[in-house]
Structure 1
């Protein structure tokens, strides 16, 4: 009989599973990826995968939740290095431009998940809405610090740039949205 798995091994296996699933779901699409592909990419047997996540939907939610923490954390780390409040808001678009230019960029993982599963999965829809609310709140905090009442337009510029870059494969929407945000911040 094999030795019982340690907490550390469970943690490492769960992270490997989430890494593999995130990469596959983001690159190929959630519905296009079967659990056999997740098994092969993670190196874990299906029985072990289903001990972590009883259903594929649970795995998708966990991937989105973890990606949200990393994505918004990376954004905040970049933006909060900037001291000037106006430049801090514009730094959001600089970060987006860097993200859009990364190899393998396929747009917003949450918009993609919503497009595939949002209408049929309440759990995925809830996670997508949670991410969008949290991103909105981040942007709102940075915009409020400027003293200008332009949170909604700045947020919509960021969201529009993300969707446009994802569809076009061109990072230029970040630059255009940044220029529009600068105009809004200067005009208010």
Structure 2
């Protein structure tokens, strides 16, 4: 895929592919299905994206961009670093209810793309590294003695909430994660 703006057909392909990849799984969706659902030829899909690998990467980057924008937008509305740490869990709960009923697209992608050389695997891993660094930065701003350790703990709580929500059907998983983060911050 190039960095040029997407044509209307390419936007439709990406929207359809994103929906299919998220709801049916990356491995369960072929280029023929994407083309048919988008109302274009398979040639159009390949002309614009080059490969399924590139289309998967575009899908994951799009989801990541939306999540980062959503989360940072929510954090801009909150005061100090401790409050922003807790607000990440509020935002996560809202995101899970509205955008991620099937769980985290990045975790799902990592499960389907175990080859670390796959660009999609790297995009998903980068997203997890970003959230960990966000926590580390907020922990440092809050004056925590070991911001890296707290960042690791918060990341584990965050990811655990995502899995509990989608796999164990715990609708309040993000709220429970927030309560756990409050305990860590009170130490």
Q: Same fold (TM over 0.5)?
A: yes
Which blocks of at least 5 consecutive residues in structure 1 are unaligned? Answer: 1-6
CA drift at 1:142: 2.1
Query: Paired residue for 1:87?
Result: 83
Query: Paired residue for 2:102?
Result: 106
Describe the SS at the equivalent of 2:176. Answer: helix
Cα shift readout 1:77-97 (whole Å, capped 9, x = no counterpart): 012210122111101000111
Out of 131, 136, 149, which is 1:135 matched to? 131
**TM-score between both structures, scaled by the size of structure 2:** 0.87
CA drift at 1:129: 1.5
Are positions 1:77 and 2:73 aligned together?
Answer: yes
- Distance in 1 (CA, whole Å) between partners of 2:171 and 2:88 is 14
CA drift at 1:13: 2.5
- Distance in 2 (CA, whole Å) between partners of 1:40 and 1:125 is 26
**TM-score between both structures, scaled by the size of structure 1:** 0.87
Are positions 1:151 and 2:151 aligned together?
Answer: yes
Count the aligned residue pairs. 180
Which blocks of at least 5 consecutive residues in structure 2 are unaligned? Answer: none
Query: Paired residue for 1:178?
Result: 178
Cα shift readout 1:90-147 (whole Å, capped 9, x = no counterpart): 0100011112222761111111111112238622222222111122122222222211
- Distance in 1 (CA, whole Å) between partners of 2:100 and 2:152 is 29
Are positions 1:34 and 2:41 aligned together?
Answer: no
Contact 1:64–1:110, Cα closer than 8 Å, also in 2: yes
Cα shift readout 1:143-184 (whole Å, capped 9, x = no counterpart): 222112322111211111112212123331111110010111
CA drift at 1:185: 0.8
- Distance in 2 (CA, whole Å) between partners of 1:145 and 1:16 is 42
Contact 2:116–2:122, Cα closer than 8 Å, also in 1: no
Task: Provide runs of 4+ in structure 1 moved above 3 Å.
Answer: none
